[in-house]
Amino acid sequence: MIHPTAIVDPAAEVHSGARIGPYCIVGPGATIGEDTELQHHVTVMGPAIIGRGNLFYAYSSIGQRTQDLKYAGEPTHLEIGDGNTFREFCTVNRGTLPGAKTVIGSGGNFLSYAHIAHDCTVGSNVIFSNNGTLAGHVGVGDHVIIGGLTAIHQFCRVGRHAIIGGCSKIVQDVPPFFIADGNPAEIRGVNLIGLERAGFPAETVRALKEAYRILYRGKHNVKQAVEVLQKEFGTVLEIAELCTFIESSRRGIIR
């Protein structure tokens, strides 16, 4: 299942059920799982572990060294789960410091020219539209949608089930379950359609709508708003998650 024009380093591990297409390069330390396909002209460099059932379209560059200038050649890593799709010209970099790694979950759909920089952590079932770009050390939760031509600043986080509009500039954390849009981005409301499609119960959605009102339409500062949410909706798991996300923010949340 390895095309004769492909170059696979002897120190790479390629499952017998994987498919390595024309002119692909698989470097030392790369592990390619069962049913994963490298279409053609795909480069995978290690150390990297790529799970099963992934599809990499033409000219993707996966597992190259970090672009962080302080990198001094130490062994760093990349881990990719199962069932992801990486369209044409996607780029994913390894970590920076010794033993550091970039991690991507399963079931993601990364459209053309999406970029995931060093030391990022990306959850499962995400969608990155064309040119969705993560700087280093960004965290993205499960079921996040990132619009095309959107860039996310270093060390920012995006909570699960959040959606970011196209051409947005993200310089602070995007709380879970909300919509962010703009340059610079603002929180526009609750991700109602996404939550409905994901099967969230109506009472949870109502609580999140009230949380948005308290956080973004009330007179409270962030700390006061969190205290109100914890007091009034402390039994709603999603509200507890939202409050924990806000309290743990290093860069602050988008207001």
pLDDT in tens, 200-223: 999 999 999 999 999 999 999 999
Which tokens is 179 given? 């919509």
Say what the pLDDT of residue 206 is.
97
Residue of 46, 63, 119, 147 marked active site? 119
- The set of residues, in sequence order, having a beta carbon less than 8 Å from that of 124 and lying 6+ positions away, is 81, 105, 106, 107, 108, 142, 143
Active site residue 119: yes
Model confidence at 61: pLDDT above 90: yes
Say what the pLDDT of residue 53 is.
98
Question: Which helix or strand (DSSP H or E) is residue 230 part of?
Answer: helix 222-232
Residue of 41, 115, 118, 137 marked active site? 118
| Domain annotation for the chain: domains and CATH numbers | 7-137 (2.160.10.10), 196-247 (1.20.1180)
Active site residue 118: yes
